[in-house]
A and B are shown apart, each in its own frame.
Chain A
Amino acid sequence: MSAVAKTLDVKGLNCPLPIVKTAQAIKELAAGDLLEILATDPGAVPDFNAWTKSTGNELVEQSEEAGVYRFVVKKKG
């Protein structure tokens, strides 16, 4: 597993901000870079799946711990 290039903290933010902030953050990364996102909005779980499906970026990891959802997205190459 390669290292995360950037972590985006969107804890506390609500729809559609987690994906909007992610879309903005991923622009600054290079193809293949990993972006880690930390969120607390339960709606972010289906939304990140939809977002990656639509944008072609890859959702490589998804987990939940103590109400914090963690996503790792690989920027499409």
Chain B
Amino acid sequence: MATSEAEVETKVAPHEHDHAPHKKLVIIAWSGDLDKVWPQMIMATAGAAMGMETTLFFTFWGLFALVKDEKRITGENWMQRMVSMMDRPGIDHLALGKMNFAGAGPAMMKHLAKDHNIASPSEMLQMAVDLGVKLVPCQMSMDMLGLKREDLIDGLGEPAGAATMLMEAQDAITLFI
């Protein structure tokens, strides 16, 4: 069967400039550990600075980084509340994935970062917003964790689902952090 001209065009287009950089970056921010939220924020701000259309899709524990820092307990039922009691939400209260030592690890990491002029995750989150990074909370995770829109920081996009993320990711570099 003959291939139509239009089809050929769409097949050829991506190879036209062999070294053309991807102009879209989609980061699936799954983890709420300090040592993973940090690279989420570094890659997102760097992506936006590179001129890439950048989206951070926050799902599962990643959503806890979007909870307002002054919120201590979130959730609508006892199970959801228990989760937030055991794992304090808010980007300034994240635990390390390793060497947490009941909060001593994160305090030490933040101290080291300050000494080396590395921006904190909360500063970088604000930078990401300023640079126009799209921040999309996952609706399903919000429901599961009992997080309401007003529990989360300002500047977020509309909550969405997997299809929205995959749609964005079709012509993008994707990272799962």
A associates with B: yes
- B27 CB–A CB distance under 8 Å: no
B50 within 8 A of partner (CB) = yes
Q: Is the CB of A13 within 8 A of B127?
A: no
B117 touches A16 (CB 8 A): no
Mask, B29-68, CB within 8 Å of A = 1, is: 0000000000000100110111110000000000000000
Contact of B46 among A13, A14, A20, A56 (CB under 8 A): A20
Of A30-38, A47-55, A58-66, the one contacting chain B is A47-55
Check if A51 sits within 8 Å of B116, measured CB to CB: no
Given the known A-B contacts A20-B127, A20-B131, are A14 and B49 also in contact in the complex, defined by CB atoms under 8 Å?
Answer: no
Partner of B117, one of A12, A24, A54: A12
Chain A residues within an 8 Å CB radius of B49 = 16, 19-20, 22-24, 51
Chain B residues with CB below 8 A from A20, complex form: 45-46, 48-49, 127, 131
Q: How far, in whole Å, are A56 and B45 apart by their CA atoms in the complex?
A: 18
Using a Cβ–Cβ cut-off of 8 Å, how many residues does chain A contribute to the interface with B?
17
With known contacts A51-B50, A54-B50, A14–B116 Cβ distance under 8 A: yes
Complex CA–CA separation, A54 to B166 (angstroms): 24
Known: A51-B50, A53-B21, A54-B21. A23 touches B117 (CB 8 A): no
Tell me if A4 counts as interface (CB < 8 A to partner B): no
The range of chain B's interface size is: 10 to 19
**A76 closest partner in B (C-beta):** B51
B45, B48, B117: most-surrounded residue (chain A CB, <10 A): B117
Given contacts A16-B49, A24-B130, 15 further A-B contacts (CB under 8 A): A14-B117, A15-B46, A15-B118, A16-B45, A19-B46, A19-B49, A20-B48, A20-B131, A22-B49, A23-B48, A23-B50, A50-B50, A54-B21, A55-B51, A56-B51
Residues of A within 8 A of B131 (CB): 20, 23-24
- Contact, CB under 8 Å: B117 / A13: yes
